[in-house]
Amino acid sequence: MQLHPPLQKACARRTYEVTEADLPLSCPLKDMRLWDAHPRVYLPIEATGHAICPYCDAEFVLKNE
């Protein structure tokens, strides 16, 4: 019996849409596995609605719910 859904591969896509529920925003995201990813970094997205990870260049766009 599996209690949690499997974690996503970290940094597998180039663009991610996130919501206020994902704040504070980090890359890799909270539901991504960490063992094969870069160190977790927190990204300031609140002011502009847009952030790019300095490690993997993943782009994050804040969507209104």
Q: Is 19 part of a structural domain of the chain?
A: yes
**Inter-CA distances, 65 with 18, 22, 50, 55, Å:** 10, 12, 15, 28
Residue 4 has pLDDT above 70, yes or no: no
pLDDT score of 62: 97
Rounded Cα distance, 52 and 61, in Å: 9
pLDDT score of 25: 96
Residue 2 has pLDDT above 80, yes or no: no
Number of domains the chain is built from: 1
- Region class of 13: left (phi > 0), else alpha (psi between -120 and 50), else beta: beta
The pTM assigned to this predicted structure is 0.76
Q: Is 31 part of a structural domain of the chain?
A: yes
Q: Is 26 part of a structural domain of the chain?
A: yes
Q: Is 10 part of a structural domain of the chain?
A: no
Q: Is 6 part of a structural domain of the chain?
A: no
The range of the structural domain enclosing residue 38 comes to: 15-62
pLDDT band at 64 (very low <50, low <70, confident <90, very high): confident
Q: For the beta carbon of residue 38, count every other beta carbon within 10 angstroms.
A: 15
Q: Is 36 part of a structural domain of the chain?
A: yes
What tens digit of pLDDT does each residue of 9-53 get?
A: 666 668 999 999 999 999 998 888 777 788 999 999 999 999 999
